[in-house]
Structure 1
């Protein structure tokens, strides 16, 4: 009986289908079949992961980035949220190129520093920033591919981990371009204590009734006026006077009057200027005569070069002697107008000491020098910087507008534009003078950084 039961049980077990085993097998087969089907989302994720892994596989290194730019349309060079600046444009390009991760777009995280900071609208044929980036292939080409054409990277050079673009920079070369009509003599009526003859340009600037000092300025803006300015040619006497003034800037002096938010006793007011020269005038195709001033120095404060130019222009157009320059290095505070940003160009920074020091230790690394890149710098300067500068002057008469603004505020300046170069504080307006506008730095109040 027991044998019969065992036989039946064995028979039932053999006839029963292995459902669980089939389910497992079918499920496994289904998964294997599904895995063979194309999955666009998974493929895209895999490619993205592979791309990220490829980018992260490149080591981070410190680079000195040599670049140039046309500053028109930007609120200066230094990163200053929420404003559009040259450096913010560069950082966005670095992220898109894959040399900086999106998490590290903060300049502090990549150790970003620059050798010179430029104002709103100021251009640079050569500037240097240093930061940590991934050494991706074709780094220069990748950055330029994501930058606007008015900003060009010339090269990215490997530097030591301790390299600081500002601290290792030994000097800066600037150039200022201006039409020579800016040196045309003004009116004795506006600046009665100057060396201007009493019959110079009197008809255009009648006196304001009851005005104790100077007169009112009538702005004359017409095609005939612009044509007259285009025909103006600076004389040799004015050129000689200009060069005499520029010479007095050379050496170490207290430039507290040539910047903002700076006092006479501030230690950073002292600056060393290597040379300041006025080149020979040249005539543009539209008939306007221009001149460039070249300024070489160790470092410069905010607005310093533009105020140096503005001060020299005021002395020439009023016939004020050059000995006034030595007096403004003293503690008396005067208000100096700053020349338009349009004409200022950072020609290049210098790293002579750094190159000499590190040549022996790192002979395999190239020097930080802009000379090898002149074939790249020339087209940028001519096609963007110069073209933009001359075009804006022709269309907007920037320099005439600047002169008009100064002459309308002649009371602010007439008291220190004197025949003997003395500062007549007794002639200073009782209500004080209006401070020079400081709107080019998008709210920045630093004085110790460069133009």
Structure 2
């Protein structure tokens, strides 16, 4: 869409009312997407050709930074149709409609590859009025490649939790066959995007579904969807939300629970390194099967390891140091811009409970993590780093260096088997949030979530006994990582601290010198909040 001329719309801020810096920013803006605005009290006809629109809601979602765009004066029919299409992210516009590619993680991609006519599975074929619905789900993630349908280009079918949920929606008649294959066509959003192998007792996804206007239609839809879901995925309930509801931005808090074996905290890494040097000096632990891991666990007696009070206190001190607002760019799955805000996260609560012994004879540490949002692999890397501190491989200063934005550190990542997403929390400030939070706190949904938590914890302990993933993690760390992992990192961190201290002392000395000169001249001084007149 080309912009040749602009006409006032009566809902805009005049150009001349902006400051010089904001005018330059508006001219340099290349975004052509108009944003919805509050109607101005007095319409204004500017003499300038450009108008600036600021969206209060969009700016608030983007950190209260104003966003501007240009309004075209004349739009063709195709442009009007394009502008009317809902922005769900992704997809190209063709004939006034957005076209989406079929996801590799959708059964539509698999059925098309096999030549199967999947339209016969649809519960309905005709269109119907859509309603924005929040689905409260729980799932055992050991056999899935995460919650979200993958977008990667692959020749193999990738099964995610949303893969099974999308197929159940098609069979239940909540969507038409034309929308099958890509959940973006339903304005899909999720409050917590879990990785592959991570389970969830409660998660919330939203989309525009065909429900019906009769009384009790939503409850009937929930029962139909449940009948088509596999045993590893459960639907706890549903709630109607507004059309523009986005589960990701409406979520106020996320709570996670991690079950960590005690032998990963007790100093056992040196024994594993010695065993590998004596028995498997030339083999890589990445190729070890379950029998090899059972042999390591049996010979080193890892199942009988019990943590002492001093070791538990050391681990708690290291793990709880992540609480608060810090830079977690070194705990993400990829390198982030150290000067950007993406790497900063706020953790409300980080705690380690009392150890317990399961039916297989292993001791576990229950970890509780609560935060506003998390980066990909952040919790698993936090747990691995705190475990290495407790084992004495790295020091507490290593964690401080890893949370500094000017230091780049490669941190270890723990397997996802023990991680569980407990539930999200929604602030009841708006009716939309209050509706979802009320559904989560209802008696039926709360009982289902509690039962799902118990089921997932039992499945996690059983899966850990069958796969021995924690033993494999210890073997990989002992094989690939050097004994002195932190020397170069701490050297760089200390040099940076020394440089910053010198800069601070230099600034203070310069400020003191300026104050002395001004005082000698008899000028008035500002001392903090107080004004001293001479």
Which residue does 2:136 correspond to in 1?
Answer: 66
Which residue does 1:245 correspond to in 2?
Answer: 318
**Distance (whole Å) between structure 1 residues aligned to residue 422 and residue 167 of structure 2:** 25
After TM superposition, the structure 1 = structure 2 runs for residues 273-288 of structure 1, keeping only pairs within 5 Å, are 273-288=347-362
After TM superposition, the structure 1 = structure 2 runs for residues 157-176 of structure 1, keeping only pairs within 5 Å, are 157-176=239-258
Query: Residues 154 and 65 of structure 1: is their aligned pair in 2 closer, same or farther, counting only changes over 3 Å?
Result: same
**Distance (whole Å) between structure 1 residues aligned to residue 251 and residue 259 of structure 2:** 24
Shift of 1:187: 5.4
Which residue does 1:139 correspond to in 2?
Answer: 221
Query: Residues 157 and 242 of structure 1: is their aligned pair in 2 closer, same or farther, counting only changes over 3 Å?
Result: same
SS in 1 for 2:205: strand
Q: Say if 2:268 and 2:391, in contact at 8 Å, map to a contact too.
A: yes
Which residue does 1:270 correspond to in 2?
Answer: 344
In the alignment, structure 1 residue 392 sits paired with structure 2 residue 474: no
SS in 2 for 1:268: coil
Question: 1:320-360: CA deviations, max 9, x gaps?
Answer: 432332221122212111111101111111102xx23227x
Query: Residues 253 and 366 of structure 1: is their aligned pair in 2 closer, same or farther, counting only changes over 3 Å?
Result: closer
Of the candidates 261, 280, 285, which is equivalent to residue 179 of structure 1?
261
**Distance (whole Å) between structure 2 residues aligned to residue 257 and residue 135 of structure 1:** 44
In the alignment, structure 1 residue 109 sits paired with structure 2 residue 180: no
SS in 1 for 2:342: helix
In the alignment, structure 1 residue 405 sits paired with structure 2 residue 480: no
Q: Say if 2:273 and 2:478, in contact at 8 Å, map to a contact too.
A: no
Which residue does 1:42 correspond to in 2?
Answer: none
In the alignment, structure 1 residue 305 sits paired with structure 2 residue 379: yes
Query: Residues 402 and 203 of structure 1: is their aligned pair in 2 closer, same or farther, counting only changes over 3 Å?
Result: closer
Task: Note the residue ranges of structure 2 that are not aligned, 5 or more in a row.
Answer: 1-119, 152-156, 279-283, 494-534
Which residue does 1:232 correspond to in 2?
Answer: 305
Shift of 1:109: 1.6
**Distance (whole Å) between structure 2 residues aligned to residue 60 and residue 204 of structure 1:** 61
SS in 2 for 1:260: coil
After TM superposition, the structure 1 = structure 2 runs for residues 120-131 of structure 1, keeping only pairs within 5 Å, are 120-131=196-207
Question: 1:343-389: CA deviations, max 9, x gaps?
Answer: 1111111102xx23227xx9888725356323212333333x22332
**Distance (whole Å) between structure 2 residues aligned to residue 329 and residue 365 of structure 1:** 34
**Distance (whole Å) between structure 2 residues aligned to residue 171 and residue 145 of structure 1:** 31
Shift of 1:179: 1.3
Question: 1:164-195: CA deviations, max 9, x gaps?
Answer: 0001111110111121111121456xxxxxxx
In the alignment, structure 1 residue 423 sits paired with structure 2 residue 475: no
Shift of 1:424: 3.8
Which residue does 1:22 correspond to in 2?
Answer: none
Shift of 1:425: 5.5
Q: Say if 2:394 and 2:485, in contact at 8 Å, map to a contact too.
A: no
Which residue does 1:153 correspond to in 2?
Answer: 235
Of structures 1 and 2, the larger Rg is shown by: 1
SS in 2 for 1:119: coil
Q: Say if 2:425 and 2:437, in contact at 8 Å, map to a contact too.
A: no
Of the candidates 423, 426, 431, which is equivalent to residue 351 of structure 1?
426
Structure-1-length-normalised TM-score: 0.70
**Distance (whole Å) between structure 2 residues aligned to residue 400 and residue 393 of structure 1:** 10
SS in 1 for 2:430: helix
**Distance (whole Å) between structure 2 residues aligned to residue 154 and residue 201 of structure 1:** 43
**Distance (whole Å) between structure 1 residues aligned to residue 240 and residue 383 of structure 2:** 37
Which residue does 1:325 correspond to in 2?
Answer: 399
**Distance (whole Å) between structure 2 residues aligned to residue 356 and residue 87 of structure 1:** 29
Query: Residues 363 and 249 of structure 1: is their aligned pair in 2 closer, same or farther, counting only changes over 3 Å?
Result: closer
Query: Residues 139 and 334 of structure 1: is their aligned pair in 2 closer, same or farther, counting only changes over 3 Å?
Result: same
Question: 1:122-160: CA deviations, max 9, x gaps?
Answer: 101111111001115311111111100111111110011
Which residue does 1:449 correspond to in 2?
Answer: none
SS in 2 for 1:325: helix
Q: Say if 2:355 and 2:363, in contact at 8 Å, map to a contact too.
A: yes
Question: 1:49-72: CA deviations, max 9, x gaps?
Answer: xx848x755x31101111110012
Structure-2-length-normalised TM-score: 0.60
Q: Say if 1:139 and 1:156, in contact at 8 Å, map to a contact too.
A: no
SS in 2 for 1:167: helix
Q: Say if 1:157 and 1:366, in contact at 8 Å, map to a contact too.
A: no
Q: Say if 1:415 and 1:424, in contact at 8 Å, map to a contact too.
A: no
Query: Residues 371 and 310 of structure 1: is their aligned pair in 2 closer, same or farther, counting only changes over 3 Å?
Result: farther
SS in 2 for 1:313: helix
Which residue does 1:295 correspond to in 2?
Answer: 369
Question: 1:368-411: CA deviations, max 9, x gaps?
Answer: 5356323212333333x223322222122110111101110122
